[in-house]
Chains A and B, each alone.
Chain A
Amino acid sequence: MEATVHDQHGHATDHAHDAHHEEHKELSFFWKYIFATDHKVIGMQYLFTGLIFLLFGFCLMMMMRWQLAYPGKPMPVVGNLVCSALNMACKGLGDESMQGGVMSPAFYNSLGAMHGTIMIFLGVVPLAFGAFGNFVVPLQIGAVDMAFPRINAASYWSLFVGGIVMFVSFFVPGGAASSGWTSYSPLAGIATTGQTLWLVGMIFLITSSLLGAVNFITTIIQLRAPGMTWMRLPFFVWAQFVTGFLLLLAFPPLEAAGVMQLMDRLAGTSFFLPSGLVVTGMPSVVSGGGSPLLWQHLFWFLGHPEVYVLILPAMGIVCEVIACNTRKPIWGYRSLVFSVLFLGFLSFVVWAHHMYMTGMGQKISTFFQTTTVIISVPSVIILSALFISLWGGSIRFNTPMLFALGFLPMFGIGGLTGLPLAFNAIDLYLHDSYYVIAHFHYVVAPGTLFGLFAGIYHWYPKATGRMMNECWGKVHFWGSFVCMNGIFMPMFLQGMAGVGRRWYDGGQTYEFAQGVIHSNVGISMSAWALALFQIPFIINFFWSIRHGKKVSDNPWEATTIEWAAPSPPPHGNFVETPEAYRGPYEYSVPGHPKDFTPQSQTA
């Protein structure tokens, strides 16, 4: 029996070879760039999609910032443009939303809801997981491609459809979803058509992430190059591995919840609709008997692991960039790995700290308060290890390193200001205030986004064979760094004064808000200035594709295996199958002629 099986195996591989050689024929434009199965092309598709949606989500916020800084005043130029665009797409929608350039409360709500949704599910996740995971992970483990290239393409196109659905939802009667990015029921259950499209879009986005997660984990388990043992994996790969598991196991409950909310909206069920529901003075016809809290539990069961989906890949990128640019091994590689695993595990048991205000009971609150405080430990270990790695390094202050260094204190502020929120008693006061907004934006905006920018500058020469312009890169960094703090630092003060996160006029009518409300103008100015400082990046990014300085395959003199591949890597990645002979961060090894020893180098 054993013998026959082996016989079959030998036979099988021969045929697999035949089939693949046929595939290597020159592909048409359509198959090469549109329905591509090469992980690098798909990574680029994710990158461009993610960046475009990031800009789009930012534009939504810039419009909201006008309303917050100058409540009720007509928005110059843009206001009328948006009004007529919406009118053109759906008769009367523009007048409802932006008549004369003045934003209506309902439109403000839907901008807020869609800003959150787009930034998280269509901006950061496609960039952090889709783009960097796809482009870098197979290269770093020395693989030829992802384990399932066609599933990879399906994953991208599912995201694309989800993005289109989300975009289209702005132009249906009633406008886009307006019940917050959390879509709490029963509010979302009775909202306009936009909410239905939000749910349909989410189901596509979730499907995309699930397919991606299966693919990433399989790739990391199965396709590591010879000698690439688990403890020789670059930290970035570990971060993506854990992220994959978070998406794989946390997203399905939201998919189930999405299906149920869709049933509530379309099939008249009452999963999340309570008995005796009255809508605009009319008793609702639904059966009732459902539980609005159930939606919150299912939503945050994804929602909290999602936070780590956003931050872990950025931590991984920062770790790579710091190791390379301090020219010394990362401090505490093993601690980093075990911390990230522990973090991944714990992130599944902290979700209800988003729900202290729901009155779910002291015992449950205490449990989640405890786990939430514990989860700060591995995060602090990771951040400390990265900080300590700087000690005694001969640091190169290039653009990627600046972004990575910017990440550390920014994530530090974001993380530490989260600690008070972990405590039930303090959260009761700070809940749903601008303090919360400032806290998680410090983690995600100057945190994750800086990590992602570091990654773009760092791996750009690998993807194109050329460098991005350093000078404009530094303008991009310093401008963004100052503006980010200008936006989010005052929000802590506003939040502590009690300003609520969803107020349409920034708190004009509340006496206790008067002391901090003037900073809304400064915040908005910073936000618009931040947009201006992205222009050098955008131009730099496209200009350098053709005109950037040509560089060798390993311009940063880095150690990890992706730098052993040609730049840009061809289909199949490596000239010959690479092999790992050592750990990922062998910089400045005493007795070696050079200050870096690539993983693929034999001696």
Chain B
Amino acid sequence: MDIPYTVLPRKDTGLWNAKVGIWLFLASEVMLFGALFSTYILLRVNSPETGALKWPHHLLNVPIGTFNTGVLIFSSITVILAWASLVLKNLKAFKWWMGITILCGLAFLGIKSREYYQKFTHYGVFLRDGTVITGHMKNEDVKLKEGEVTRYISNLQVVNGVVNAGPMKGSEIEHVMIAPDAPAGHGHEAAEHKAEKIEGKDIARIASYGPWYSPYFAIYFTLTGLHAIHVFGGMVVNTFMWGPGTKMYFTNPQRFTNRVEVAGLFWHFVDLVWIFLFPVLYLL
């Protein structure tokens, strides 16, 4: 009494079980990301025309994003070649192509985390008159009235010039120094202007470019973060196929090929999500 159609397709459906399973799973994944894309649309159409919460356009680095898109598309090709090598019974070629696929995933995550890092070290100082000054700051750039040393400005919560949480709660800010970004058109990574001094009484809020900064960053980090988790998950599966999972090739090559096909379908889906994420977050 074995479970049928684990390896061979059922005649009337033309599919083996895992293939039905992965397509259903991907359908649910479409709904998961669909909800997040809907959120993106809703937050974007609701965002104000002016002020601190204005939807930022072209904030992300397009060349880096394009390169990362290329990396993922290339890995989609290599994962197909890995599967095709198995169909042609060429295990050595499979190892190579799958290895390259895994490395591409690693490269993608590496580049993405570099982008994340740049965001987390970039700040916005929201003034009480509604304007925002963005730029780079260090811990010592925040001067408190009591003369304490400021720590961890990356998660500094400030309400009207007073620190709202953490070990420095209640401390009043005397002033902060910020090296503002170059004006638009020069690219924000370009040479920075001279540090600017802002009085504590003018400050409403200080925040780094993390998910807490604005709805745009909230959805940016959630979408790309969830996508990165998917990339990582796909890499775990691919690495299993490339490493210990290969054992099955010698006992049940057809089933192993099926498994690689299923893993490949998931990997394609992960790439496809990025194909939507890239224009939505970087270009539009």
Contact = CB atoms under 8 A, between A and B. Distances in A.
Interface of A: 8-9, 11-13, 15-17, 19-20, 143-145, 147-149, 151, 210, 213-215, 217-218, 221-223, 248-253, 255-257, 259-260, 263, 267-271, 275, 282-283, 285-291, 294, 298, 301, 571-574
Q: Which 5 A-B pairs have the closest CB atoms?
A: A572-B1, A268-B212, A253-B35, A12-B254, A269-B218
Interface stretch (B2-10, B56-64, B109-117, B190-198): B2-10
Contacts of B38: 253, 298
A12 B252 contact: yes
A269 B42 contact: no
Given A222-B20, A285-B205, A291 B218 contact: no
Given A12-B255, A148-B17, A289-B53, A222 B29 contact: no
Interface in B9-28: 10, 13, 15-18, 20-21, 24-25, 27-28
Contact of B157 (A12, A214, A275, A285): A285
Nearest to B215: A289
Interface residues of B, number: 62
A291 B31 contact: no
B182 interface: no
A299 to B, nearest CB: 11
B39 A16 contact: no
B153 interface: no
A222 B15 CA distance: 8
A157 B212 CA distance: 34
Contacts of A223: 3-5, 17
A283 B213 contact: no
A12 B43 contact: no
Given A144-B3, A147-B17, A269-B211, A256 B32 contact: yes
Contacts of B32: 252-253, 255-256
Residue of B31, B211, B226 with highest tally of chain A CB at under 10 A = B31
B53 A287 contact: yes
Contacts of A572: 1
11 contacts: A12-B254, A12-B255, A147-B17, A214-B21, A248-B27, A253-B34, A269-B217, A270-B215, A271-B215, A286-B212, A287-B212
B78 to A, nearest CB: 23
Contacts of A283: 159-160
A148 B21 contact: yes
A222 B10 contact: yes
Residue of A213, A256, A257 with highest tally of chain B CB at under 10 A = A256
Nearest to B52: A287
A573 B214 CA distance: 57
B24 A271 contact: no
Interface string B212-246: 11110111011000100000000000000000000
Given A143-B3, A217-B24, A222-B15, 5 more contacts: A16-B2, A270-B218, A283-B159, A288-B53, A573-B1
Given A16-B2, A17-B2, A214 B13 contact: no
A257 B35 contact: yes
Nearest to B22: A214
B164 interface: yes
A80 B29 CA distance: 47
Contact of B211 (A13, A263, A573): A263
Contacts of B222: 259-260, 263, 269, 271
Contacts of A252: 28-29, 31-32, 34-35
Residue of A17, A215, A287 with highest tally of chain B CB at under 10 A = A287
Contacts of A13: 7-8
A51 B253 CA distance: 44
Contacts of B275: none
B24 A218 contact: yes
Contacts of B10: 222
B20 A20 contact: no
Contacts of B160: 283
Contact of B39 (A151, A267, A271, A288): A271
B125 interface: no
B79 interface: no
Contacts of B29: 252
Contacts of A260: 36, 39, 218, 222
Contacts of B7: 9, 12-13, 16
Contacts of B157: 268, 285
Contact of A287 (B27, B158, B214): B214
Given A16-B255, A267-B210, A214 B24 contact: yes
A21 to B, nearest CB: 9
A202 B217 CA distance: 25
Contacts of A270: 212, 214-215, 218
Contact of B251 (A15, A144, A145, A256): A15
A271 B17 contact: no
A259 B3 CA distance: 36
A282 B48 CA distance: 24
Interface in B246-269: 251-255
B16 to A, nearest CB: 8
A259 B5 CA distance: 36
Contacts of A8: 253-254
Contact of B159 (A218, A250, A259, A285): A285
A210 B226 CA distance: 17
Residue of A213, A267, A288, A574 with highest tally of chain B CB at under 10 A = A267
A218 B222 CA distance: 31
